[in-house]
Amino acid sequence: MAPRILLCGDVLGRLNQLFKRVSSVNKSAGPFDALLCVGQFFPDSPEQLEDFTKYIEGGSHFPLPTYFIGDYGVAAPKLLLQASKDSANQGFKMDGFKVCHNLYWLKGSGKFPLFGLSVAYLSGRKSSSGQQFGNYTEDDVDALRAIAEEPGVVDLFLTNEWPNGVTNRAADSDIPAGLSDGSDSTVSELVQEIKPRYHIAGTKGIYYAREPYSNVDAVHVTRFIGLASVGNRDKQKFIHAISPTPASTMSSTEIAMKTTNTTLSPYTFKEKRTSPMDSAKRSSDSISDPQYWRYDVAQKRQKHEAGHGDKLCFKFVSSGSCPRGEKCNFQHDTDAREQCMRGVCFDFLNKGKCERGPDCNFKHSLQDEGNRLPSRRPGSGRSKECWFCLSSPNVESHLIISIGENYYLALAKGPLVEDHVLIIPVEHMPSTLSMPPESEIELSRFQNSLRSYCKSQEKEFIFFEWVSIRGTHANLQAIPIPSSKAIMVEKVFNLAAQKLGFEFVAKKFDSISDGRKFLKTQIDGDSSLFYAQIPGGTILLHHVEEKEKFPAQFGREVLAGLLNMADNADWRNRKHSKDEEKEIVEDFKSRFQEYDPNC
């Protein structure tokens, strides 16, 4: 039997009104298996908190499993931080953090099974504020891009904001009066890649059920449903019931069925009436092929290179290959591919700008324009925006503890624990494994010095590095843990790997240098990897496949779990003022001085 699902728009903390309506629908058409909420879930004002918190604290109860992605509003940071600290929510949970009985917060982005249905989601809204809750990140978007490449059909896709262009090609009579266009071009890009059978969104305060539309390179259709807010004055529909058969159980004939009112995809629609200026300067948000994201050649490159600003194939630029091969209508530009490999920000390439600004870890300029000498050293290019380059105006020099010839030691920003430091190449290198062989002696000295310093405190250092093919400036994380917990490290890493669906390769070595020699044989420039050097001389290694979702903060999250510090897993929860950071650095320097190889 197909699952019965209720969909709801912005709750705005009005849980009494919501569940009064749910009870009514349940009696007439239920029972329902789950309630999925899009748009703002938390109250708009403190006056609404009393009734809302009764449900959270158990005075009132959620009558059925309820999932939400609108993690913003009054009291959201406080309640969600508490949920994040709950031991039951540690690890990697795509199926929701439990807030209380029958209430689950779908954090970030992901995909999970729900009564046989495949449900993908993007929580929060688009913003450059850098707040911990209520906004999605580039990592969240990248995770969904990876999910889009996985086999199988996504049944439901939940977003808070509407996609740009969703009313294109729709019947005018069905479009609600006064409806402005969608609010988020990123959502429109993602929905084209994911191709869900249902796309549900909130935030506009309007109910709109668009006619089904066909997808490019897929046989099934997508139905978009925009839902109004609970208790809205216009009495627009805020709750909607569906009972879809899971795509995984459908025959190819069943899933390919189309209704007579099915339209072409709204996202491949192009305005026919364009001014000469519009033609010369295309909007960066226009998308001519939903299967592959494209970007215009940046203006700087257009000035220096021949051509007419041809569109580039995203697949080729990001991965070096395109499944369409010669049949692809877009340019397979090796120079653009090189820019991507040099760590240029995807949003900068895609839109000409990046809303994350200084919080972005990637470069916002084309690197070494006009200079493509094959003999160029990998580490010779520096970015003014790189946090770690000593020559950069953005480097936070007050965090530096010790400087050698090839490496320097610095306090980690938002440290997981006391004495959490980074070993960073002086040169702008994508990984410590790509450093020249002669630099290994200095790196080993830093690591041995840290171990000796730690041993005097009955602690052990764990070293780990995320080596991404899109990495910019490398940093080797060094986090101390109590010696009593050292025996658990390998087990905890293996458990975390198991949750993500992979197994570590574990190898034991007699010395740091022997382990590093092995690691250097594992890099090829075409794939990413994660490794951890743990007590006892063991190295845990995992090669990350191109389409694999791998958390950039994996190592930190694992150790946060080991140390029962779930709230410290996010570095932003451990931010210090500049004066506090200076004080921490000076304190560490005084304690580390007798071990410092550069003193």
Could you tell me which residues come within 8 angstroms of residue 492 by beta carbon, excluding any fewer than 6 positions away? 558, 559, 561, 562
DSSP 3-state percent helix, strand, coil across the chain (nearest 5) = 30, 20, 50
Give the residue, 315 or 550, on which the prediction is more confident: 550
Q: What is the pLDDT of residues 78-89, one digit of tens each?
A: 999 888 887 776
Query: What's the whole-model pTM score?
Result: 0.51
Q: What is the pLDDT of residues 480-515, one digit of tens each?
A: 999 999 999 999 999 999 989 999 999 999 888 889
Quickly state the pLDDT bin for 252 (edges 50, 70, 90).
Answer: confident
In CATH terms, the fold of domain 5-264 is: Purple Acid Phosphatase; chain A, domain 2 (3.60.21)
**Residue 470 Ramachandran class (φ > 0 left, ψ -120 to 50 alpha, else beta):** alpha
State the pLDDT at residue 292.
32
State the pLDDT at residue 590.
93
Q: Report the SS3 class of residue 465.
A: strand
Give the residue, 389 or 143, on which the prediction is more confident: 143
Q: Give domain limits for the chain.
A: 5-264, 397-593
End-to-end CA distance of the chain: 72
State the pLDDT at residue 497.
93
Q: Report the SS3 class of residue 7.
A: strand
State the pLDDT at residue 299.
33
Which of the residue ranges 86-100, 282-296, 368-382 has the most confident prediction, judged by mean pLDDT? 86-100
Residue 179: is its pLDDT beyond 90? no
Q: Do domains 5-264 and 397-593 have the same CATH topology?
A: no
Percent of the chain predicted with pLDDT > 70:
77
State the pLDDT at residue 375.
32
Q: Which amino acid is at 531?
A: Y
State the pLDDT at residue 280.
39
Could you tell me which residues come within 8 angstroms of residue 143 by beta carbon, excluding any fewer than 6 positions away? 108, 109, 110, 549
Percent of the chain predicted with pLDDT > 90:
51
Poorest-pLDDT segment among 173-182, 331-340, 457-466, 535-544: 331-340
Residue 297: is its pLDDT beyond 50? no
Tokens representing 169 are: 């090609």
Poorest-pLDDT segment among 42-46, 69-73, 213-217, 284-288: 284-288
Q: What is the pLDDT of residues 426-453, one digit of tens each?
A: 888 889 998 888 889 999 999 999 999 9
Residue 181: is its pLDDT beyond 70? no
- Please name which of 443, 252, 147, 112 lies closest in space to residue 139, comparing C-alpha atoms: 147
Continuous segment of H or E residues that includes residue 109: strand 109-114
State the pLDDT at residue 190.
95
Average per-residue pLDDT in the chain? 82
Q: What is the average per-residue pLDDT within 91-117?
A: 89
Q: What is the average per-residue pLDDT within 18-34?
A: 93
Quickly state the pLDDT bin for 545 (edges 50, 70, 90).
Answer: confident
Give the residue, 342 or 536, on which the prediction is more confident: 536
Continuous segment of H or E residues that includes residue 100: strand 97-100
Burial class (CB in 10 A: 0-12, 13-18, 19+), 490: middle
Q: What is the average per-residue pLDDT within 124-153?
A: 84
State the pLDDT at residue 323.
55
Please state which of the four CATH numbers 3.30.428.10, 3.10.180.10, 1.20.1250.20, 3.30.300.30 is assigned to the domain occupying 397-593.
3.30.428.10
Give the residue, 285 or 408, on which the prediction is more confident: 408
CA–CA separation, 399 and 411 (whole Å): 5
CA–CA separation, 231 and 249 (whole Å): 37
State the pLDDT at residue 354.
55
State the pLDDT at residue 35.
98
